């Protein structure tokens, strides 16, 4: 499998998903579907459970004390919480890019080679090939090829974020989860990341959390609008991007996408 090619993109289905932290309900009975190769934007104000849904899809929620997830989440038609689910395989299939760049405290090259080794790529030449291929896929190779042995933290913020995307792509995912990947970047770097995400559409199924409604409108095929109602998050409406921005059915969606509330 090539570094930047997963299997065919896998669809995502959430059915009545509730995420709790102890007694607090972060988001309740969320349901929507993302078709293979589609980009869905999850929008809504802070605290309405968007990140909680991302963490539930690739089961990073398992690492949060007191967090429980109910309902059904399927990736590629398979229940991610099935008893025989291998978490390493799931997290290779469903890659995650966070709000703040989080390179490992290693060299630029080792940021990609290390996870490849951990996921069973034992051949050094294959690791090197996949490292270069992933760095080229995010437009970073020409910028870093002369300093692969230098610390990744020496890169700019935008370069670090692209390195983190390359690290995810190197493992050959089918689904990419982006949690506000541009919010900590300057406008120029954010534009580079947007262009990169646009280039990934169709090759991967993408779920993008963003507070930036113009960004959602530029990038997304479909949109799910999250809101806080009676103290917990919920999905009030989902559908094609043009429909939700131009003629949404729910009054909250019309008000939020129209800039009246938020």
CATH number of the domain to which 133 belongs? 3.40.50.300
Has residue 5 been placed in a domain?
Answer: no
DSSP state of 151: B
- State if pTM tops 0.95: no
How many domains, the chain?
Answer: 1
Has residue 1 been placed in a domain?
Answer: no
The tens-digit pLDDT sequence of the chain (262 residues) is 344 555 678 899 999 999 999 999 999 999 999 999 999 999 999 999 999 999 999 999 999 999 999 999 999 999 999 999 999 999 999 999 999 999 999 999 999 999 999 999 999 999 999 999 999 999 999 999 999 999 999 999 999 999 999 999 999 999 999 999 998 899 999 999 999 999 999 999 999 999 999 999 999 999 999 999 888 999 999 999 989 898 888 999 988 887 766 5
Has residue 145 been placed in a domain?
Answer: yes
Has residue 4 been placed in a domain?
Answer: no
Has residue 238 been placed in a domain?
Answer: yes
Please check whether residue 107 is in contact with residue 183, taking contact to mean a CB–CB distance below 8 angstroms: no
Buried b (16+ CB within 10 A) or exposed e, 9-48: bbbbbbeebbbbeeeebbbbebebebeebbbbbbbbeeeb
Domain that holds residue 98: 12-257
Has residue 201 been placed in a domain?
Answer: yes
């Amino acid at each position: 499998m090539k570094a930047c090619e997963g299997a065919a993109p896998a669809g995502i289905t959430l059915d009545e998903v509730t995420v709790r932290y102890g007694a607090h309900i972060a988001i309740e009975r969320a349901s929507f579907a993302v078709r293979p190769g589609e980009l869905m934007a999850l929008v809504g104000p802070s605290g309405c459970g968007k990140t909680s849904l991302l963490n539930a899809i690739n089961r990073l929620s398992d690492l949060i004390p007191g967090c429980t997830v109910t309902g059904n989440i399927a990736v590629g038609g398979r229940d991610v919480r099935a008893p025989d689910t291998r978490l390493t395989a799931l997290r290779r299939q469903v890659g995650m890019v966070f709000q703040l760049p989080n390179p490992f405290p290693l060299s630029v090259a080792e940021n990609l080679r290390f996870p490849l080794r951990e996921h069973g790529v034992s051949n050094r030449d294959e690791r090197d090939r996949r490292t270069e291929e992933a760095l080229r896929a995010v437009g970073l190779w020409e910028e870093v090829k002369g300093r692969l042995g230098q610390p990744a933290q020496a890169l700019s913020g935008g370069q670090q974020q692209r390195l983190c995307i390359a690290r995810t792509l190197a493992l050959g995912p089918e689904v990419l989860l982006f949690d506000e990947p541009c919010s900590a970047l300057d406008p120029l770097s954010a534009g580079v990341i947007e262009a990169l995400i646009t280039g990934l559409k169709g090759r991967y199924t993408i779920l993008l959390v963003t507070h930036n409604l113009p960004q959602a409108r530029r990038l997304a095929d479909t949109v799910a609008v999250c809101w806080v109602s009676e103290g917990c998050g919920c999905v009030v409406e989902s559908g094609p991007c043009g429909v939700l921005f131009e003629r949404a059915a729910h009054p909250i969606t019309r008000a939020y996408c129209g800039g009246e509330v938020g």
